């Protein structure tokens, strides 16, 4: 009989079943998507990070295996990576995606790179690959479908480098899993994954799952009142409480089963569009979005269990007190005790702040306060919902103008649980996304600094590149000078100055602590007039002098001591054979902070600047090349700078800014996508539940219409029933999110460092999105008011 009641009935009953199952299916599909996307993104981002291989002396000593080095660069704003490989000895097992490693002069490319090589700008790309195209790399060997990646075979001696990452021969060298230490700063120009982003993705996934579960539960509550009355009628004619409960459970199980099957089908259809939304450089393959088996089973089996329980709960009042249901007796009033979990959650976060040492050192009670407080805050919003809705209703009924607000307020007072169910999902999204946004400034302070600041100092489209070796630099400089549209390169050389009598760093005793006053001075050699030409503002103080004291916000401005100094190389390890004398009262050259913070591969850092230093080898450590902004010019400069065998690839400050912000941008994008998805699903759910609620209450509405209540009064009343609890609950949610975020930020900020300010505009955007979406969703159901108030309803109880 339970199946007959669940599956049978008239057209409206079947429509209701379809809507409920559809709502559950949407929730299941999104849950599977979130469960699959988060680990997929983490896995692919880790793959991208693992490509950062640099050549080492130990690699040079290999007799079997693979020597490898990653060259990283950009092409028209997109990262371009080339993994240069040299097989030593017998052939090794190739990495995923290819059948064999390329030999010298051979290049395998990703499909996206192959497409670019077939395009109109192939002339910019071909010189950078140094070989003949012999094949493409399969999906299994790529980070994402849009990745520009190549594996190039090189001959003996063509690789060089200075850190270790060898591949022992004879063991299938899986280049994907190679782990190489990278030179400091390489991660800032490659799309790696930070711990913060990994944590953010997982928090986003968990944070989105909770509202989705709320939405699934809402879907199962369609027509709850009429189903409850039906159950009461069955009880009154003799069914036992157990039988009635069983019927409710069967109905819930049917909805859950249909929803789970539909949800899996919907997930498979939506996988590809979802893959394009996940912010992974190079995109994400649709097949990657595969939730772990345990998560898939938990979702597909767990959701029907939840809907079955929801079905049981839906008829419990009828099973226990059928007469109360018949009489439409008032449900119990939600007490203020419902606010206790929320208060407890906030108190726990205060406790975490008070025990910050325990939290930061990972003590169990510190972690419990931090995580437990967060979870209680989330649960507290949901539990407090009915109390907040009732309070909203009391205020609306008492102070609202006109009969519409009186009707709406009284409705909220009588059944606040129904009103809060529809808005709780939105409120939870506001809390979670607010948390994620608040961490953006903290994330920004932990990412490698400077990349975003250099763009404020340099003229747009100025290419910056660093060099490792003299041979490399000499080779390319003349080519750069020949590029049309490019200015003469500004050459920067870095040196160190060792004061007469001081111990050279190369001679420091292994365990000795050198006197800081003995440390060499940092210095740069660059023509300040030429340098001014690539800056947004000319350098202040650049004149006829050949030696300057460098000054910026980062340097104390203490005068370098007038003395004689020996000129060492940039690392302070080798002498150039030159000596210089610094006079007293050096003129000050004020440099922009962005130049000092610089970019990996280039920093104008030091105490002294020489415009020229006769006798110093012409060996640039970095160059700045101004361009006319044409992408073709920028690519020509990059091509002229030679093969991508520099640790710090040629890129513009704008590109560096994109890299620096990629983690935070990806993080923010995850938050916004999550917000949009859940708001969309929540809005649809709200439309359906509003229309259903109108149908459930058609008798009362028909009587009001018959009495002469204008339709606009009824529509206004329906809108206020959503708007009022929504505004109050979202306001509380913003407050909770802000309070919790401030405490987390305070915990994560060192003493003496200002706590990043909260993103109030972001909170406003999130709250406004949730409110507007909810009101639009409710309004879309208002045309049903007229049909719901049809006089036919007056004939029926």
| Binding residues for another protein (CB under 8 A) | 327-330, 402-403, 406-407, 410-411, 413-415, 699-700, 702-711, 713, 791, 794-797
The residue (of 406 and 479) whose beta carbon lies closer to another protein is: 406
Of the pair 224, 432, the CB lying nearest another protein is at 224
Minimum CB distance to another protein, residue 414 (Å):
4
The residue (of 375 and 703) whose beta carbon lies closer to another protein is 703
- What CA–CA distance (Å, rounded) separates 51 from 165? 11
Q: How far is CA 679 from the centre of its chain?
A: 18
Compare residues 359 and 407 and give the one whose CB is closer to another protein. Answer: 407
Instruction: Look up tokens 């030429």; give the residue.
Output: 530
Q: How far is the CB of 697 from another protein (least distance, A)?
A: 8
Give CA–CA dist 690/695, Å, rounded. Answer: 9
Which contacts of 512-518 are long-range, i.e. CB under 8 A and separated by 24 or more positions? none
Please state the closest distance from residue 333 (CB atom) to another protein, in A.
13
The pair of structure tokens assigned to 772 is 């507007």
Q: Between 525 and 789, name the residue whose CB sits nearer to another protein.
A: 789
Give 99-129 as a 3 state SS string: CCCCCECEEEECHHHHHHHCCCCHHHHHHHC
Nearer to another protein, 272 or 323 (CB): 323
Give the residue with the Cβ less far from another protein, 323 or 506: 323
Nearer to another protein, 459 or 698 (CB): 698
CB of 315 to another protein, least distance (A): 19
Minimal distance, residue 732 CB to another protein, in Å: 24
Residue 217 CB, shortest distance to another protein, in Å, is: 23
Residue 535 sits at φ, ψ, to 5 deg, of: -100, 155
Residue number, 191 or 407, with CB nearest to another protein: 407
**Would you say 411 or 493 has its CB closer to another protein?**
411
Which structure tokens are listed for 33? 């998507």
Smallest gap, in angstroms, from Cβ of residue 696 to another protein? 11
Q: Of 277 and 394, which CB lies nearer to another protein in the complex structure?
A: 394
DSSP assignment string, 536-562: SSPPBT-SS-SEEEEE-TTS--PPPPS
Instruction: Give the nearer residue to another protein in terms of CB position, either 312 or 720.
Output: 720
Task: Give whichever of 108 and 407 is closer to another protein, judged by the CB atom.
Answer: 407
Q: Tell the smallest beta-carbon distance from residue 235 to another protein (Å).
A: 17
Q: How far is the CB of 322 from another protein (least distance, A)?
A: 13
Instruction: Tell me the two tokens of residue 760.
Output: 């109030």
Backbone φ, ψ for residue 460 (5° rounding): -60, 150
Least distance between another protein and beta carbon 389 (Å)? 13
The C-alpha torsion from 450 through 452 and 455 to 456, rounded to 10°, is: -90
As given in the structure block, the two tokens for residue 661 are 């912000």
In terms of phi and psi (left: phi > 0; alpha: psi -120 to 50; beta: otherwise), the region of 418 is alpha
Closest approach, Cβ 392 to another protein, in A, equals: 14
Q: How far is CA 471 from CA 103, 190, 249, 474, 492, in A?
A: 25, 25, 78, 5, 16
d(CA 6, CA 410): 32
Q: Which residues contact 147 (CB under 8 A, 6 or more apart)?
A: 81, 110, 112, 113, 281, 282, 283
DSSP letter string, 23-70: HHHHHHHHHHHHHHHHHHHHHHHHHHHHT-----HHHHT-SSEEEEEE
Closest contact distance (angstroms) between CB of 794 and another protein is 5
Alpha-carbon dihedral angle through residues 119, 120, 121, 127, given to the nearest 10 degrees: 70
Least Cβ distance, residue 703 to another protein (angstroms): 3
Residue (230 or 271) nearer to another protein, CB:
230
Beta-bridge partners for 73: 80
Angstrom distance (rounded) from CA 687 to CA 689: 6
Distance CA 761, CA 758 (A): 9
Which residues, other chains included, contact 682 with Cβ-Cβ below 8 Å and sequence gap of 6+? 211, 215, 425, 426, 429, 770, 773, 774, 777
Q: Half-sphere exposure of residue 559, counting CA atoms within 13 Å on the CB side?
A: 9
Closest approach of another protein to the CB of residue 373, in Å: 37
Of 419 and 659, which CB lies nearer to another protein in the complex structure? 419
Note the Cα 285 to chain centre separation in Å: 18
Of 586 and 704, which CB lies nearer to another protein in the complex structure? 704
- Smallest distance from another protein to CB 793, Å: 9
Q: How far is the CB of 226 from another protein (least distance, A)?
A: 14
Short-list 601, 679, 680, 612, CA closest to 641? 601
Q: Which is nearer to another protein, 364 or 399 (CB)?
A: 399
**Contact residues for 419 (Cβ-Cβ < 8 A; gap 6+):** 386, 389, 393, 411, 412, 721, 722, 725
Q: CB of 728: closest distance to another protein in angstroms? A: 19
Burial pattern 192-231, b for ≥16 Cβ within 10 A else e, equals bbbebbbebbebbbebbbbbbbbbbbbbbbbbbbebbbbb
Partners of 88 in beta bridges: 65
Number of H helices, E strands in the chain: 27, 16
User: Could you tell me where the DSSP H helices lie in 439-562?
Assistant: 440-446, 451-457, 470-481, 528-532
Structure tokens at 418: 């129904």
């Amino acid at each position: 009989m339970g199946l007959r009641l669940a599956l049978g009935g008239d057209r409206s009953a079947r429509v209701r079943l379809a809507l409920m199952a559809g709502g559950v299916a949407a929730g299941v599909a999104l849950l599977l998507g979130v469960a699959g996307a988060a680990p997929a993104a983490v896995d692919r981002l880790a793959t991208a990070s693992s490509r950062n291989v640099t050549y080492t002396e130990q690699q040079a000593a290999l007799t079997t295996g693979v020597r490898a080095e990653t060259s990283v660069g950009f092409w028209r704003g997109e990262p371009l990576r080339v993994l240069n490989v040299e097989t030593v000895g017998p052939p090794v097992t190739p990495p995923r995606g290819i059948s064999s490693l390329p030999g010298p002069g051979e290049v395998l490319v990703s499909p996206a790179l192959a497409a670019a090589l077939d395009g109109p700008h192939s002339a910019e790309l071909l010189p950078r690959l140094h070989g003949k195209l012999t094949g493409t790399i399969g999906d299994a060997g790529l980070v994402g479908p849009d990745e520009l990646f190549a594996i190039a075979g090189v001959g003996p001696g063509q690789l060089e480098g200075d850190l270790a990452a060898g591949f022992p021969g004879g063991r299938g060298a899986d280049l994907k899993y190679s782990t190489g230490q990278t030179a400091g700063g390489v991660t800032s120009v490659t799309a790696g994954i930070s711990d913060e982003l990994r944590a953010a993705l997982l928090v986003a996934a968990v944070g989105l799952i909770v509202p989705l579960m709320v939405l699934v539960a809402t879907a199962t509550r369609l027509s709850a009142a009429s189903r409850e009355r039906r159950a009461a009628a069955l009880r009154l004619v003799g069914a036992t409480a157990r039988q009635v409960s069983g019927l409710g459970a069967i109905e819930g199980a049917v909805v859950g089963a249909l929803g789970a099957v539909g949800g899996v089908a919907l997930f498979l259809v939506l996988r590809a569009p979802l893959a394009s939304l996940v912010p992974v450089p190079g995109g994400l393959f649709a097949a990657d979005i595969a939730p772990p088996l345990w998560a898939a089973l938990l979702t597909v089996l767990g959701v029907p269990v939840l809907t079955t329980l929801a079905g049981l709960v839906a008829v419990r009042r009828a099973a226990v007190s059928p007469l109360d249901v018949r009489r439409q007796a008032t449900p119990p009033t939600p007490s203020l005790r419902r606010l206790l979990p929320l208060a407890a959650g906030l108190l726990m976060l205060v406790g975490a702040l008070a025990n910050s040492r325990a939290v930061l050192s990972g003590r169990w009670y510190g972690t419990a306060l931090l995580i437990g407080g967060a979870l209680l805050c989330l649960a507290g919003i949901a539990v407090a919902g009915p109390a907040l809705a009732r309070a909203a209703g009391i205020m609306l009924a008492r102070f609202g103008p006109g009969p519409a607000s009186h009707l709406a307020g009284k409705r909220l007072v009588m059944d606040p649980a129904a009103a809060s169910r529809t808005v709780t999902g939105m409120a939870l999204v506001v809390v979670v996304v607010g948390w994620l946004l608040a961490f953006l400034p903290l994330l920004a302070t932990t990412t490698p600094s400077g990349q975003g600041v250099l763009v404020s100092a340099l003229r747009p489209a100025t290419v910056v590149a660093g060099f490792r070796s003299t041979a490399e630099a000499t080779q390319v400089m003349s080519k750069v000078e020949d590029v049309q549209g490019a200015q003469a390169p500004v050459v920067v050389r870095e040196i160190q100055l060792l004061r007469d009598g001081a111990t050279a760093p190369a001679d420091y005793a292994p365990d000795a602590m050198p006197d800081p006053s003995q440390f060499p001075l940092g210095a740069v050699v660059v023509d300040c007039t030429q340098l001014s030409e690539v800056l947004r503002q000319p350098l202040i103080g650049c004149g006829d002098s050949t030696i300057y004291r460098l000054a910026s916000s980062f340097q104390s401005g203490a005068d370098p001591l007038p003395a004689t100094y020996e000129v060492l190389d940039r690392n302070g390890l080798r002498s150039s054979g030159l000596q210089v004398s610094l006079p007293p009262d050096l003129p000050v050259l004020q440099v922009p902070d962005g130049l000092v913070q610089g970019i990996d591969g280039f920093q104008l850092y030091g105490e002294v600047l020489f415009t020229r230093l006769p006798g110093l080898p012409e060996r640039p450590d970095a160059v700045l090349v101004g361009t006319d902004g044409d992408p073709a010019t920028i690519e020509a400069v990059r091509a002229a700078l030679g093969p991508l065998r520099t640790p710090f690839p040629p890129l513009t400050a704008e590109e560096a800014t994109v890299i620096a912000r990629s983690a935070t941008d990806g993080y923010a994008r995850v938050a916004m996508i999550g917000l949009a998805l859940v708001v969309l699903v929540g809005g649809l759910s709200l439309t359906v539940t509003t229309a259903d609620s109108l149908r459930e209450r058609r008798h009362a509405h028909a009587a009001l219409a018959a009495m002469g209540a204008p339709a606009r009064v009824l529509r206004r009343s329906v809108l206020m029933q959503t708007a009022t609890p929504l505004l109050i609950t979202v306001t509380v949610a913003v407050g909770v999110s802000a309070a919790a975020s401030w405490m987390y930020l305070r915990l994560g900020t060192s003493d003496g460092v200002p706590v990043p300010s909260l993103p109030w505009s972001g909170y406003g955007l999130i709250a406004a999105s949730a409110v507007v979406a909810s009101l639009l969703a409710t309004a879309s159901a208002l045309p049903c008011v007229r049909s719901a108030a049809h006089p036919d309803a007056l004939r029926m109880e």
